């Protein structure tokens, strides 16, 4: 079913435009890197604070980083989707891509855990309080998952089908 979807995308006019516009792929790569920098850079600060480091960062400061995380994610969602549309038959069978998509799903579940379990606790934070075990677990999982996503993204051109 997924390969049928990829085949249909390979025959689309959007695929043709992406494939034939010589400057588009490098531009998408640049934007994808910028999105990753926004997402991972801001998330790194948040997660380190949630782990108990960077205690000088208060909850209000962490909340101000949230738009950067979401902006980076949105940029990567758009550019990543265009990468897939531009070469769907290669991505559909690529083990690096498949694992990356599974980890993005895991990251989404981790965000859900953050929203339900951790975010309500942040309103009471000042500059100094320690974190709860659940807060540290969510932050550690976030760092681990997003680091793996980053590494798998870099491996996609070098690994084949699984």
pTM for the structure as a whole: 0.86
Residues 6+ apart with CB under 8 A from 14: 85
> Is 49:55 a contact under the CB 8 Å cutoff?
yes
Q: What is the pLDDT of residue 50?
A: 87
> Is 160:95 a contact under the CB 8 Å cutoff?
yes
Q: What is the pLDDT of residue 2?
A: 72
pLDDT tens track, the chain, 162 positions: 677 888 888 889 999 999 999 999 999 999 999 999 999 999 999 899 888 888 777 777 778 888 999 999 999 999 999 999 999 999 999 999 999 999 999 999 999 998 888 877 766 665 555 678 888 999 999 999 999 999 999 999 898 765
Residue labelled with tokens 């101000």: 64
Euclidean distance between CA atoms 74 and 11, whole angstroms: 26
């Amino acid at each position: 079913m997924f390969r049928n979807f990829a085949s249909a995308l390979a025959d689309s006019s959007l695929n043709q435009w992406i494939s034939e516009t010589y400057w588009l792929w490098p531009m998408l790569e640049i934007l994808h890197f910028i999105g990753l920098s926004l997402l991972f850079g801001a998330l790194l600060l948040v997660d380190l604070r949630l782990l108990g480091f960077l205690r000088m960062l208060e909850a209000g400061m962490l909340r101000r980083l949230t738009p950067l995380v979401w902006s980076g994610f949105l940029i990567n969602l758009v550019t990543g989707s265009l990468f897939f549309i531009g070469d769907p038959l290669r991505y559909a069978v690529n083990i690096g891509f498949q694992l990356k998509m599974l980890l993005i799903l895991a990251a989404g579940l981790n965000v859900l855990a953050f929203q339900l379990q951790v975010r309500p606790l942040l309103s009471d934070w000042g500059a100094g309080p320690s974190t709860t075990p659940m807060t540290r677990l969510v932050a550690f999982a976030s760092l681990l998952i997003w680091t793996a996503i980053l590494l798998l993204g870099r491996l996609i051109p070098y690994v084949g089908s699984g």
